[in-house]
Structure 1
Amino acid sequence: MALHRVNTDDYSEQLRQKAERLRAAYSDYTDLEPELFPSPPIHYRLRAEFKMWQEGGRVDYAMYRQGEYKKPFVIKEFTVGAELINDLMPKVLEAVNASELLRKRLFSTEFLTTLSNDALITLIYHKKLDEAWEAEARALQDKLGFPILGRSRKQKVVLERDYVTEQLQIGDRTYSYKQVEGSFTQPNGEICRSMIRWAKDVCEGSEGDLLELYCGNGNFTIPLCEHFDKVLATEISKVSVNAAQENIRANGVSNLNIVRLSSEEFTQAIDKVRPFRRLKDIDLDSYDFSTVLVDPPRAGLDADTCAMVARFPRILYISCNPETQLENLEELSKTHRVERFALFDQFPYTDHTESGILLVRK
């Protein structure tokens, strides 16, 4: 099925089939039916990236069909994209085609939006961006009312800002997030909100402290802080760590420390294999970790991190790849049992499935 156009009549059945496949895949570890968190059927993607197809002195948005990377097809509609993306797409395209400076050697266009109606448009080129380009881009920025970012090889031109701000209502609180262009953010805003709500429900009534690995910009970390005495979170991306620090201040969180470490480095640190200067102000022995939250990349947890995580009484494991989560479960199930099980439909109309499990020590 084309990513730009969907048949919403099929959605309920597709989700049911995903749930059945996931339940069957995890049947060796739990008899639970997965808690289902459906996506909005349309306008759910907050991020979009398009190739810009140049032909006959005109440029159009284009995508590739899977396996046909030399045959782009022009995008005329993008119903899976956020409404704000759909509103901005024709306006950007009209302006680019009206200006040779903006059109020439334009290679790609990216849209980053939020549920709270903020947006950033990134124009990516195969040419050096000069003052003349900047003047045209500023005029477009003023017309759109949203910031423009220019990129080329070894060049990044920030006209106003390189981030968007998200406001997520969770229960009776609103959480504010700075989301920087080029860093990871959840692509489906409503599913992101569902994931946070589920994680908060899982952690309701927790005691002790929380450790989080792969924390990104604090997406889960900040809302979960109210459920624990203290929280320590790690993230390897410097951009994400800097954004997380700003998000901590923006949300008035006082019991959270974020450190720039990979999961492998943190495993070495907690095992006292070697010291890290980045932990010089953190006393690991002062933490009473009762729960660990992991949301790793598609490769899942490496063997050493998996072994380290298995020491915790409670493991909250959110995964964008059930296959590698199952590989980790083969080890973690030796010491823990599955108490909660969830399916988050981040990408409807595809085979992609995201899952969440709460593991409790046997």
Structure 2
Amino acid sequence: MEQNDILILHVVKWYPYHKDTQHGIFVKKHIDATGDKPHILGFINDHFPPIQTNNSTIFGAKKMTFAAKFGTFISTVNAVKPAIIHFHCFAPDLIPMLWYARLRGIKVVHSEHWSGLLPVNLMKLEPWKKQLAKWFFEHVHLVLPVSAILEEGIHTVAPKAHLKVIPNIVEKHEVMISNHEERPSVSFCMVADVVFKVKRQNVVLEAFKNLEQVKAELHFYGGGPDLGLLEAMASRLPNVYVHGRISNDQVLAILPSHKAHVLFSEYETFGITTIEARKAGIWAISRPVFGASALKDSCTLMVDNTEELTDSFKQILEENDAFIADYSFLESHPISIQLFEAYKGLFS
């Protein structure tokens, strides 16, 4: 059985579109790894006319009734006739779609990225949603969490679920080497949605302020609900810069111009930007509780509180430039092989 022999319909709630090219980019990378011109049906929480390209139809589904979504799903399944339906990111309205797929005898796979299912967040999950998630995960044929720590959370919710970790894709990127030691100040950066409660840019900024202004600068990349507040906080600091949201390609191009990247979130199902930073040949500051933390190397500093965060900033001021890390096993080709093996296993 070859990969192109298996017809797959991907159903997504997160996926890049014209208003936000970063929206669910991690989902798109997984889907792109499954083959050329994949069949995609998307229901995005926004309002815009349907976007059709090749085998893909993405709906702005914010005002779409569930009956309309379900009817569209059924008609798409009947038209495509997939061997596998691959859902991405749990939502309760996927449950009737799963029921219909099982009724039709179609194999069902689900990829999960949602941080709400991390062990640290399960106590916050409403009981009704936890029960729906349990039923869903235990009735798909295979669940693919992106990290072992997310796998642990899903197993807690749904002990009978069939689980296989397939990590996020972090692509190879041509790195333009920068000599940071020739610069008058050391440049740190943080790439993340600006949501203080989760990503904690405000905490990172407070720790960074312990450094002498002439020795270091800090650049924030990302958009979000707290962007305006972050801009106001940075406006009083001559060595702190807020750039707003940029595309993933722009992130990969700009990372090597910095000496280090910091990610100090409350939690992360994976922590892609830490790996991207290391593949760009710069230092990374991260936390040991993130999904990708087990992949750390000698140029990744693990910190767990603000004092350690400040110390890591100071340590990097004195360090030589980091080396370029490999992580080729996270690129699309090896992940594509893992996905195909998972699909093939459903028919053995």
Pick the structure with more helix per residue: 2
TM-score of the pair, normalised by structure 1: 0.28
TM-score of the pair, normalised by structure 2: 0.29
Pick the structure with more strand per residue: 1
